[in-house]
Structure 1
Amino acid sequence: MRAMVIGAGMGGLTLAQALRRNGIDVAVHERDTDPARTGGYRLHLDHRACAALRRLDPELYQAVLASSAPPRAFSRFAVTDHRMRLLFTEPRDPSRETLLIGRIPLRRLLAHGLHDTLHLGSEFTGHRVNPDGTVTAHFADGGTDRADLLVGADGVGSRVAAALAGRPTSAPSGISGLAGRTALTPAIRPLVPDLLEHGPALAFGPAGIGLFLTLHDPGAEPAVDHAACTAVAPITEPPALIWGLLAPDPAYPGRPRHLDGPELVRTADALLDGWASPVRALIRDADPATAAFFGFHAADPGAPLTPWPAGHATALGDAVHAMPPTGGQAAATAIRDADVLTEELLRARDGESTIPLAVHHYQNRMAGYAADAVRTSVRPLGWVRRMATPAGARAARAALPAIAASARLGRALAGAGRA
């Protein structure tokens, strides 16, 4: 059996590592030329994603642990107003393993050891299913590759999933984000709100503006001593405040996708007019090179996520169930997809199933948990829309504590710290 993965994100690389570890030939094609070239900031991996990574090379997982922030960095999730006045908190379940790790370190670690398996600078353009059931993929440089199974792990706007579905598998949500990092220098640390010492926070302000804030210091108290990682070296990042502004698309002036880093930081500061002064100072002191604007896309959780017959091609992660970072579950769900697909493919390898049947079982299993993750992730966007009007803002702020007490919105918003 040979599998071909399009896209070297978290799900695609996890799948490649899992298949290789179990003796299945795999090739990964990625249009980026360097695994370190990726958007995003910090990822939250839930207990299921952690379990999936544990099933990979143990030495690789040790390096992942050593590259992660300490568990105490997320003991609760807070929701505040734009003056950083606490509205409510949601405690994290300490009995379940979770990881907080930078997107770049995790991607680089998951690429470790893949060598000839990982083809960088290889842009997928299309595929065909051959009469013998194999799949041939075509690439922008004119090259081709052939495998028994094609897996699209190429994220939002997936070419693989769009070809299988005959349409895009997600749509813009009407809300976009503007994010960056602020280095935690001695001059900056006094400005950081105390409540962030216990975990991330999501603040709601006027005009439907939301702001996510979290401290990220993986080197402070790693879960595993770096000296114990002799086979795979940990990759840690300098301490920083990670922030992400979210707002309805009309709130952004001009064409934010075309702004450079300094202009994006100034835009974020302008949108936070009237917010707590220390918070605005933290945003103004961000490293402009880290600032980025990105639209939030979402799949329709009420529609089939894989609207094609199971066969020798499928997809995983944001390629089929795109979700905004407000749920913080995208990476964890993609890793879970890879784990489930690996389990089903091993049955096919061992003669207990076939590739089309393995794909069928994977798609059915994935549909349940992935649709729930999308629903959870889009729920906070509804509150951003409501807060965009004065009447909606008053009603929403009055309702937030009561809803938190009944544990509905609290659990949904707790995911916002997990992006």
Structure 2
Amino acid sequence: MNSPTPAAARISIIGAGPGGLTCARVLRRHGIAVTVYDRDPDAASRDQGGSLDLHEEDGQLALREAGLLEEFFALARCESQEERRFDTAGRLLGRRLPDEGETARPEIDRGQLRGLLLESLDAGTVRWGHGLESVSGPAEGPRTLTFTDGSTVETDLVIGADGAFSRVRAAVSDAVPRYTGVGFLEAWFDDMESAHPELSELVGRGSAHVADGQRGLFAQRNSGGHMRVYVMRRVALDWMTASGLRPDDTDGIRARLLAEYAGWSPRILRMITENDGPYVDRPLFALPVPHTWRPTPGVTLLGDAAHLMPPLGVGVNLAMLDGAELALALAASATVDDAVRTYEKTMLPRSAEIAGMLEGGAGFLLEEPDAEDLARLGAPGADGGPGE
């Protein structure tokens, strides 16, 4: 069977995250039909995660191709580019404030970004409640998508945008994510100015980071007076069960954390003691480096499905760039197979290079800042902000 033209092809994207939705949006802007399938029952069925910084060279570039850059800046928080670095005694080591009008890496809540992309698509483009079970069918196509409810769909191109534990990935690769040895516990804080004024003053308008080599805390302001803190530790994957704890045992988990962070400043420990609600266990996984595959007719991957890396600010940006570039390749190519080859010829080496630089980078999040880090941030209190 000959590869169809993109305009005549049945194109299916698995996963309605930022990468998959960016791909869908750019395809529609070029008049190419696409359907997105997502396992969630609807767009509002679960929390979408914290704040994201979108970079000029990738995430914002993708939004420009999607025709949504102006709408993005109407939602983005440029002031949240502020960064603070503390030591475990609560002393401010360095602080960086964004310049007036700086737009290199503004923040936006993940849910707001997803909403922006969803609203840009025609009704019915996203089919909710479609969790993928498998991809099958002959190499010459068409491919068959089997969903967890037993339903099936034939497609000429399936795009795996379904994240870390992608079901599409198995159609092109045997690789599976591996635990990095670093785990996050996510904690939520609401009504920061009224309920957590001391913590609000400590963190400022953007993010604050503390680490001692084995453990760390990373606080990140979100919109609407909310904040998230990531409690970062080198732990076994089964640490919670091995400790006799349950995910809903907030008091027990907090007591364990306070024992592990003993000696840290009470100022800093507010990030552990004042959270509103439970902790959410988020162990960090990464794909082997490099993760590549032979060209496979009718199937490709983008974002974490293709190149899952430690969370060092590149994941969503690369996913959106992948999505935009794949859509542009489809718009400019004679056949689907030609488009996929063009896209993978750029995406695979790029992701391999970045993944190589970040390999083992989960541990970097726990390291104390060096002279270069502090020089980038600038002197504490230099602009009248808080010192020790």
TM-score w.r.t. structure 1 length?
0.77
Corresponding residue number in structure 2 for 1:173: 180
Q: CA deviation at 1:131?
A: 6.5
Q: Matched residues in 2 for 1:209 and 1:241: separation?
A: 20
Give 1:18's aligned amino acid. V
The match for 1:45 among 54, 74, 93 is: 54
Amino acid across the alignment from 1:65: F
Q: Is 1:371 matched up with 2:352?
A: yes
Q: Which amino acid aligns with 1:42?
A: S
CA-atom RMSD in angstroms: 2.8
Q: Where does structure 1 lack aligned partners over 5 or more consecutive residues? A: 219-237, 388-395, 408-419
Q: Which residue of 1 aligns with 2:6?
A: none
State whether structure 2 residue 329 is matched by structure 1 residue 329.
no
Change (3 A) 1:66 1:259: same
Q: Deviations over 1:111-158 (max 9, x none)?
A: 224421111111111122447532221112221112221101110111
> Which structure carries more helix by proportion?
1
**Deviations 1:370-416, CA, capped at 9 Å, x for gaps:** 234434544543346xx7xxxxxxxx65xx43343797xxxxxxxxx
> Secondary structure of the residue that 1:115 maps to in structure 2?
coil
Shift of 1:298: 1.1
Equivalent AA in structure 1 for residue 348 of structure 2: A
Instruction: Please tell me whether the aligned partners of residues 180 and 360 of structure 2 are also in contact (alpha carbons under 8 angstroms).
Output: no
Q: Does 1:239 align with 2:248?
A: no
CA contact (8 A) 2:133 2:148 kept: yes
One-letter amino acid of the counterpart of residue 362, structure 2: L
Instruction: Supply the distance in 2 between the matched residues of 1:313 and 1:321 (Cα, whole angstroms).
Output: 15
SS of equivalent residue, structure 2 residue 116: helix
Amino acid in structure 1 at the alignment position of 2:178: A
Aligned to 1:214: 220
For residues 239 and 255 of structure 1, the distance between their equivalents in structure 2, rounded to whole angstroms, comes to 36
Quote the residue 2:362 is aligned against: 381
How far apart, CA to CA, are the structure 1 residues paired with 2:175 and 2:340?
20
Contact 1:174 1:296 in 2 (8 A): yes
How far apart are residue 280 of structure 1 and its match? 1.9
Aligned in 2, Cα 1:361/1:266: closer, same or farther, shift over 3 Å? farther
- Name the structure 2 match of 1:358: 339
- Which of 273, 277, 282 aligns to 1:288? It is 277
2:217 and 2:232 in contact (8 A); partners too: yes
- The one-letter amino acid of 2:328's match is E
Which stretch has the larger CA shift, 95-104 or 116-125? 95-104
For the residues of structure 2 that align with 1:272 and 1:193, how far apart are their CA atoms? 21
Structure 1 residue identity aligned to 2:51: R
Does the Cα contact within 8 Å between 2:181 and 2:234 map onto a contact in 1? yes
Taking structure 2 as the reference length, the TM-score comes to 0.83
Partner of 1:159, secondary structure, is coil
Alpha-carbon distance in 2 for matches of 1:375, 1:83: 34
- One-letter identity of the residue aligned with 2:267: P
Query: For 1:287-331, what per-residue CA distance to the aligned partner results, in whole angstroms no more than 9, with x for missing partners?
Result: 215x31111011233x2x231324210111111111222x02111
